[in-house]
Amino acid sequence: MEKLEKQIIKILKENSRYTISQIAKMIGENEEKVQETIKGLEENKTILKYTTVVNSEKYEDDKVEALIEVKVAPQKLKGFDALAEELCAFEEVVSLYLMSGGYDLAVMVKGNNLKDVALFVSEKLSGIDGVISCATHFLLKKYKVEGESIISGDKEEKRIIV
Amino acid sequence: MRDFVSKRASNLKPSGIRKFFDLCAGSKDIISLGVGEPDFITPYNISEAGIRTIKRGRTQYTSNSGIVELREEISSYLKNRYNVDYDKEDIIITVGASEAIDIALRAVVDEGDEVLIPMPSYVSYAPCVELNGGIAVGVPCFERDNFKIRAKELKEKITSNSKVIILPYPNNPTGGIMEEEDYREIIDVIIENDLLVITDEIYSELTYGKRHFSIASIPCIRDRTIYINGFSKAFAMTGWRVGYVCAPKEIKNAMIKIHQYALICAPIFSQYAALEGLRQETEDNYQVIEKMKEEYDKRRKFMVNSFNEIGLHCFNPEGAFYVFPCVESTGYDGQEFAKLLLEKEKVAVVPGDAFGESGKNYIRCSYAYSMESLIKAMEKISKFVKEL
């Protein structure tokens, strides 16, 4: 990946609402080049999505979130990937990670309520070929999200932690 | 009751920066670009080292020169990083580089001695000179030279009383740097006039695109140089008050006497914290500093480009964390511009003449602030300039 692409991604990851003009100034590059590069990254799916990180104390979407630890028997010749693909297809699955340690897959799930999440686990997840066991942990409270602390009160100019 | 304040103290002009920021005091919602310290927290391992030192009960005086491990570490750091040669015996750990400036001047300035100082420059040099009965002589530097000090202007200011030249690069407030060829241009003037060099390199770790070059690495100058540096900017340790000064034996011995009587030693936990910082950085290949610099560089480019876009010409500063745009095109000088900007848009910048007459038509803006603050500030400045 080119240096320019890396720089732009780093800046957009920090704040995807920086304008092309602002990004161009930060890098010292002309706006057309920046625009073109971003378009390329969107088209080749390096940039998947732009979203917004919200303070869950102030915006409640009434959904229930859970982390499910899944132990899996990897399939012959396919490893974890085929099973992961099947799981990704579910709308309830927000994130899916292969992990080292005591279990294999960390599944972040979002449902309308506790019952929905429980049903997802019992009917959809457990039934998948290869799933050995699931341990469901319901998310109670968020303290920090995507590098942003939710709990600290209003403070002056934030100091960056290096 | 008579007036007890000494003539020297009462003759000191109050800081132009302080004066301006007192105007801001009490006003909320002001976006300030005035501060001259990093907006980073002291790295975790450094803070931990300081805290550990206290918890272990190490709260006593250290030797006047400072703990030997730190002086050794500084010696090898300077050699490896800047090719500057000082033995641990040549080094004094001071209470910030600020004390280093003070004891350096107190050790060498006699009544009537002239000290040449590039203008614009950091506000503390002239007052420290004057407190010792010396005369601060400003050497004007110009934007066309990227605010480097040039032999021509230097020669014009030399008299038979000239004794010391202060070289503060990378420079506060301009962000200008001096490269090897720039120093070589003035070396002859320095040697011919038998001047002592005091080089304040506190921003040495903050150069962009170019490696910092130290005048103390030039052998024929080293023996007539006092080298000053510290940890405040590179390690975000401004409040810890720890810096250092290096000099040839006689001068160092004079400085240590003053240091002994006036301050005894720098805080012990700050010294151990700085030691941890230097050791870890050297081991990690300066990762933490590079990370800070990357963030600063982004902001630097943003500020320079933004000012130029507005029509306030801003030369490209290659060091420190300040931009120094010229406001002459607005018809106002730095003072007037800063005052009006504060009134109309509640953005505080420092008028350039706080750093010397040569800064009259400029303003200093620090970019040691979050990108969000800088964007907001530039939007307001842009609006302000458009409406002028």
Kindly report, residue by residue over B312-343, the tens digit of the pLDDT: 999 999 999 999 999 999 999 999 999 999 99
In the block, tokens 């009917």 appear at A123
Query: B302 touching A, CB under 8 A?
Result: yes
Mean pLDDT of chain B: 95
Task: Return d(Cα A17, Cα A5) in angstroms, integer.
Answer: 17
Which of A15, A22, A157 is facing B369, going by the closest CB pair? A157
pLDDT band at A6 (very low <50, low <70, confident <90, very high): very high
Whether B298 has a pLDDT exceeding 90, the answer reads yes
pLDDT band at A156 (very low <50, low <70, confident <90, very high): low
* C-alpha atoms less than 13 angstroms from C-alpha of A161 in its C-beta half-sphere: 6
Give the model confidence (pLDDT) of A126-137 as tens digits: 888 889 999 999
Q: Give every CB contact of residue B62 below 8 A, 6+ residues apart in sequence.
A: B93, B265, B266, B268, B271
B371:A162 CB<8 A: no
Closest residue in A to B307 (Cα) is: A25
Would you call the peptide bond into B173 cis, given omega within 30 degrees of 0 as the criterion? Answer: yes
Q: Rounded to a whole number, what is the distance in Å from the CA of A75 to chain B's nearest CA?
A: 42
Closest residue in A to B41 (Cα) is: A161
* ipTM for the whole complex: 0.82
B302:A25 CB<8 A: yes
Q: Give every CB contact of residue B158 below 8 A, 6+ residues apart in sequence.
A: B116, B189, B193
pLDDT at A154: 58
Task: Return d(Cα B67, Cα B86) in angstroms, integer.
Answer: 16
pLDDT band at A158 (very low <50, low <70, confident <90, very high): low
Which of A24, A27, A159 is facing B40, going by the closest CB pair? A159
Would you call the peptide bond into B120 cis, given omega within 30 degrees of 0 as the criterion? Answer: yes
Closest residue in A to B40 (Cα) is: A160
Task: Return d(Cα B54, Cα B139) in angstroms, integer.
Answer: 45
pLDDT at B238: 95
Task: Return d(Cα B100, Cα B243) in angstroms, integer.
Answer: 7
Query: A82 touching B, CB under 8 A?
Result: no
Give the model confidence (pLDDT) of B64-88 as tens digits: 999 999 999 999 999 999 999 999 9
Task: Return d(Cα A6, Cα B67) in angstroms, integer.
Answer: 43
pLDDT at A57: 87
Query: A27 touching B, CB under 8 A?
Result: yes
Say what the alpha-carbon torsion angle B49, B52, B56, B57 is, to the nearest 10 degrees: 80
A162:B291 CB<8 A: yes
Closest residue in A to B376 (Cα) is: A22
Which of A14, A28, A157 is facing B373, going by the closest CB pair? A157
How many Cβ pairs closer than 8 A exist between chain A and B? 45
Which of A15, A27, A160 is facing B39, going by the closest CB pair? A160
B312, B385 Cβ separation under 8 angstroms:
yes
pLDDT at A153: 63
Give the model confidence (pLDDT) of B253-262 as tens digits: 999 999 999 9
Query: B44 touching A, CB under 8 A?
Result: yes
Q: What is the average pLDDT across B264-271? A: 98
Task: Return d(Cα B232, Cα B240) in angstroms, integer.
Answer: 8
3-state SS, residue B197: strand
Task: Return d(Cα A83, Cα A68) in angstroms, integer.
Answer: 15
B315, B143 Cβ separation under 8 angstroms:
yes
Whether B120 has a pLDDT exceeding 60, the answer reads yes
Q: Rounded to a whole number, what is the distance in Å from the CA of A8 to chain B's nearest CA?
A: 11
pLDDT band at B55 (very low <50, low <70, confident <90, very high): very high
Q: What is the average pLDDT across B28-34? A: 87
pLDDT at A82: 85
Q: Rounded to a whole number, what is the distance in Å from the CA of B106 to chain A's nearest CA?
A: 36
Amino acid, res. B379: E
Q: Give every CB contact of residue B271 below 8 A, 6+ residues apart in sequence.
A: B62, B66, B67, B70, B93, B242
What is the side-by-side strand order in the sheet with A93-98? A93-98, A105-111, A64-72, A131-138
